[in-house]
Amino acid sequence: MAETLDRLLEHHGPGAKAIVWEHNTHVGDARFTDMIDDGSVNVGQLARERYGRDRVALVGFGSYRGSVIAGTEWDAPWEEMPVPPARPASWEDVLHAAVPKGALLVFEAGSKELSAWRGHRAIGVVYRPEYERYGNYVPTVLPERYDAFLYLDETTAVRPLVPAGAELPEEMPETYPSGV
């Protein structure tokens, strides 16, 4: 993905800009998570290294509770699942207490106020609500992993964009829903 981004920016010229929408695990700078322990890198880290922190804005998302569409494992059918209240002392729990209606937090580089390592909930294609107590959280320094963070106290599962009553194909086309 990082190489594709490089090629697109090069193709569109020196003034080109891009927005890349990815899961927090891919867009947040890996150096400020436990991914650094096993030498993993991600697009957020590579973008900051290649283009400079002042030319990249990494934005993360999180919520305290709600529901999500996910599978219990890779290739499992999707289902609506509850997202229980966040684990105590996690970033989502701290933000629930500080800004209970939600907020967009924009961090200054080197922000010390929120520099603690805390668990940050990870929900993706696979989600296991029963692991909330001991899993599903990535140790994170929030204002270093992201430049901004959109916190919503409660979320509602999204639904695929298909006409009412239409049957979903067994596998969505790679370019779904845009068709581009």
Higher pLDDT among residues 68 and 163, named by residue: 68
Q: How much is the average pLDDT of 156-167?
A: 74
Residue-wise pLDDT tens digits, 105-146: 999 866 666 788 999 999 988 998 888 888 889 999 999 999
pLDDT tens readout for residues 98-115: 998 999 999 986 666 678
What are the structure tokens assigned to 58, written together?
């990494």
Mean pLDDT, range 54-70, rounded to an integer: 94
- Please give the CATH superfamily to which domain 2-155 belongs: EreA-like (biosynthetic domain) (3.40.1660.10)
* Domain ranges for the chain: 2-155
Structure tokens at 174: 């790679």
- Give the pLDDT of residue 161: 72
Cα 51 → chain centroid = 21
> What pLDDT sits at residue 115?
84
Q: Which two tokens stand for residue 32?
A: 């400020």
pLDDT number for residue 89 = 93
**How confident is the model over 4-48, as pLDDT tens digits?**
999 999 999 999 998 888 889 999 999 999 999 999 999 999 999
Burial 125-143 (b: 16+ CB within 10 A, else e): eebeeeebeeebbbebbbb
pLDDT at position 50 over 60: yes
Residue 150 pLDDT grade (very low, low, confident, very high; cuts 50, 70, 90): very high
Decide: helix, strand or coil at residue 43: helix
Residue 167 pLDDT greater than 90, yes or no: no
What is the predicted pLDDT for the residue at 169?
65
Q: What is the distance between the alpha carbons of residues 58 and 42, in angstroms, rounded to a whole number?
A: 12
Provide the pLDDT for residue 110: 64
